[in-house]
Amino acid sequence: MKILLASLCVISLLVILPSVFAASSSSEDFDFFYFVQQWPGSYCDTQKKCCFPTSGKPAADFGIHGLWPNYKDGTYPSNCDDTKPFDKSTISDLITSMKRSWPTLACPSGSGDAFWEHEWEKHGTCSESVIDQHEYFQTALNLKQKTDLLGALTKAGINPDGNSYSLESIRDSIKESIGFTPWIECNRDESGNSQLYQVYLCVDRSGSGLIECPVFPHGKCGAEIEFPSF
């Protein structure tokens, strides 16, 4: 009887453990981050338009879109832990910086809370084995300070003036300044012209440093792209 009970216990553990490991791995199993910044002029210069946040028009600078865990095969985890919802009180000391560096441009006009909630719950929860909610937002803000995209571009004579610049010159000027190869995402203005929209940089799994991207997202820009004003 004791042998039978022991055997049943072992079998029960073998059934339970895989489900436990599967549940816990969802927030741990990723390879690197994409750190994504967007140009507000390109967000707004589309048929969709934009709305400034309730705090007023953001600065004419690249703003954070998100910090996204990814796999080396090009896929990514999402919405990994619905037991850890966005809690603004945990980042109260960061709100002023986030309004400046991570502004919302979605309509209707908002404070930014809905944007940050979306980013945490879709992407941030998949990194919580490495960084908690406060660290997630702090890490993104730190990366923004380390990566002056607008400064890198204007130093190379690439200005947000509505003119077109070569994709190669944009990519090369950022790489020369920051030291790592960016991926450039374009969107289209109301006239259908390709324009500089977002810049992706890759970050190691700890969130502490930039790396060369193991894989780039899909998508394509023209050889010449506009850099609209804001």
Q: What distance in Å separates the CA atoms of residue 91 and residue 80, rounded to the nearest whole number? A: 20
Catalytic residue among 65, 121, 128, 185: 65
C-alpha 94/C-alpha 97 separation (Å) is 5
Angstrom distance (rounded) from CA 81 to CA 37: 25
* Tokens describing residue 7: 């055997």
Widest Cα–Cα separation across the chain = 83
The residue annotated as part of the active site, out of 123, 128, 185, 226, is: 123
Question: CB neighbours (10 Å) of residue 160?
Answer: 21
d(CA 107, CA 51): 5
Q: Which residue in this structure is represented by tokens 């390109």? A: 42
Catalytic residue check, 123 = yes
The sign of the CA dihedral 100, 102, 107, 111 is negative
Out of 28, 117, 119, 135, pick the active-site residue: 119
Among candidates 175, 176, 170, which has minimal Cα distance to 202?
A: 175
| Catalytic residue list contains 218 | no
119 is catalytic: yes
Task: List active site positions.
Answer: 65, 119, 123
